[in-house]
Amino acid sequence: MDHEHAAIRTMQWDHRSLDRAQRHARGVALRRRTMRAHHAQWHAPKRRPDPVDLLVRQGEGRIRDLLPVRYGRMMASPFAFLRGAAVVMASDLAHTPAAGPRVQACGDCHLANFGSYASPEGTPVFDINDFDETLPAPFEWDIKRLGTSLVLAGREGGLSEKKARNLAVSMARTYAVEMKRLAVLSPLEIWGNPIDLSAAIAAFSDRHARARAEILLRERMDSARCHYGLIDADGGPPSLREHPPLVMRLPAHEDTIRHAFARYVATQPAELAILLDRYVLRDVVFKVVGIGSVGTFCAIGLFATPDGETLLLQIKEAQQSVLAPFAGASLFHNQGQRVVVGQRIMQAETDIFLGCTHTRSRPDADPVAPDLSGAGRQFYVRRLKDARLAAIGADVTPEGLADYARLYGTTLARAHARSGDGAFISGYLGKGHVFSDAIGCFSTHYADQTKADWVRFTQAIKAGKIPASHDGNS
């Protein structure tokens, strides 16, 4: 049994011996063991790890010069802190009720990790777009993290407490309704079920949110065709422009990235190797991305033909998922492969350039201390996505959050149904009213916990325990 097949089998669903009705009945029976209302619970466990300590330990294997940028971004608000503190919430989710069904989880499922990208045909598709923490895990974990992010975003946008809570309730209820719809479809129908963003926007109930989303989509699809302003082709061979402090050259680490790209190109399937053989790597710059990923090795490679045609690929370091200590270690030795397989499982339209690679370890490396030189690191590669296009899922006015909350719920259900058993999960959820109310309650409580953690975090920065700088971008 290969690794990909083994990964699917860990989801614990008996699709080969039970029909839909039997699996649905088993899902209903789960309610007696784990009541749906119990998902409302959040009590900080005794001996809960200090969130600041968890973040500091996570940063030990990252590029130290970039950590102040990460912490500065997390200082901005409780929602910004949540985005960078997936390791904290993973530790906490391990102490919450779980009914039993497992799926390929996103692992860092907050609203800013949903967005749009162009399909191979050029159609704007809406989906989850970040898989750095993906791993098989209880299906509730993604829903609870997404619900918490909605409550925090609603509060930050000035919504009332009731309206902020209702965002999480609406998302979870839509998830249950969509899972019920998917439960009667064939596996093939579920697998080929992308969300056309233009059609989704047209169905928004708030006309202002609909108009704003249509304008953003149109503008950003145009931007995606212009290489995002990164390529300088004036007066010679194409090269990459720097935009300090977010896009810049780091000469000390450039060889690491060039070697990793070379290994990626050399190990691709024959059909993709034919395409990549038309291009040569011409330039490399490092790029600071997101919040949670800041400090990892992340770079852009400019590939070009002799005629000046260009291809931009992004290479990004993959570390162990924050879920691994609580949901089980990945079956893949290369964490880049973990990300690649997880993305292919969850996303309806996947980048053809998606692949993994690694760099060789130094023979003299300390087996205990982290090697910050870039040696012995694992990566995944993808075509560079337009961050502004991808951010359509996060650049939402408070009035538009309700429509997007339902879209997030639909999208997450489709991603989970590709690896999990829709009939089993739907049997447990039922119509979704009890479960969604519980998610609304949990999300509110955990949003309060996140705010308290953020206050503790900002105090640590002010006391000089951890460094922070501001780059003006999150």
Q: In the predicted model, is pLDDT for residue 384 greater than 60? A: yes
Q: Do 346 and 7 contact (CB within 8 A), yes or no?
A: no
Q: How far apart are CA 358 and CA 376, in angstroms?
A: 7
Question: 66-109, pLDDT tens digit by residue?
Answer: 889 899 999 999 999 999 999 999 999 999 999 999 999 999 99
Q: In the predicted model, is pLDDT for residue 323 greater than 70? A: yes
Q: In the predicted model, is pLDDT for residue 235 greater than 80? A: no
Q: Enumerate the domain spans of the chain.
A: 3-225+390-462, 235-387
Q: How far apart are CA 303 and CA 281, in angstroms?
A: 4
DSSP for 52-102 reads HHHHHHHGGGS-GGGHHHHHHHHTT-HHHHHHH-HHHHHHHHTTS---S-E
- Which H/E stretch holds residue 357? strand 355-358
pLDDT at res. 8: 46
CA nearest to 213, candidates 400, 386, 406, 407: 400
284 CB neighbour count, 10 Å cutoff: 20
Q: Do 138 and 327 contact (CB within 8 A), yes or no?
A: yes
The rounded percent of the chain whose pLDDT value lies above 90 is: 66
β-pairing, 355-358 vs 310-317, is unpaired
0.85 exceeded by the pTM? yes
Buried/exposed code over 360-391 (b: 16+ C-beta within 10 A; e: otherwise): eeeeeeeeeeebbebbebbbbbbebbbbbbbb
- Please compute the mean of the pLDDT values over residues 291-318 and round it to a whole number: 89
pLDDT at res. 13: 54
Can you give the three-state secondary structure of 191-234, one letter per residue?
A: HCCCEEHHHHHHCCCCHHHHHHHHHHHHHHHHHHCCHHHCEECC
Q: How far apart are CA 324 and CA 108, in angstroms?
A: 13
Question: 160-191, pLDDT tens digit by residue?
Answer: 999 999 999 999 999 999 999 999 999 999 99
**Which has more pLDDT, 214 or 97?**
97
Q: Which of 174-178, 230-234, 388-392, 418-422 is least confident?
A: 388-392
Q: How far apart are CA 313 and CA 5, in angstroms?
A: 28
Q: Which residues contact 443 (CB under 8 A, 6 or more apart)?
A: 144, 147, 148, 150, 151, 165, 168
Amino acid at 131: F
pLDDT at res. 1: 36
- Please compute the mean of the pLDDT values over residues 382-403 and round it to a whole number: 76
Average pLDDT along the chain: 88
Q: Which residue has the tokens 């082709």?
A: 233
Q: Which residues contact 262 (CB under 8 A, 6 or more apart)?
A: 281
Q: Do 260 and 358 contact (CB within 8 A), yes or no?
A: yes
Amino acid at 461: I
pLDDT at res. 217: 81
Distances (CA, A) of 115 to 191, 195, 317, 333, 389: 19, 11, 21, 29, 7
- Please compute the mean of the pLDDT values over residues 202-224 and round it to a whole number: 80
Using pLDDT thresholds of 50, 70 and 90, give the confidence band for residue 7: very low
Using pLDDT thresholds of 50, 70 and 90, give the confidence band for residue 5: very low
310 phi and psi angles, rounded to 5 deg: -120, 155
pLDDT at res. 372: 45
Question: 395-414, pLDDT tens digit by residue?
Answer: 777 878 999 999 999 999 99
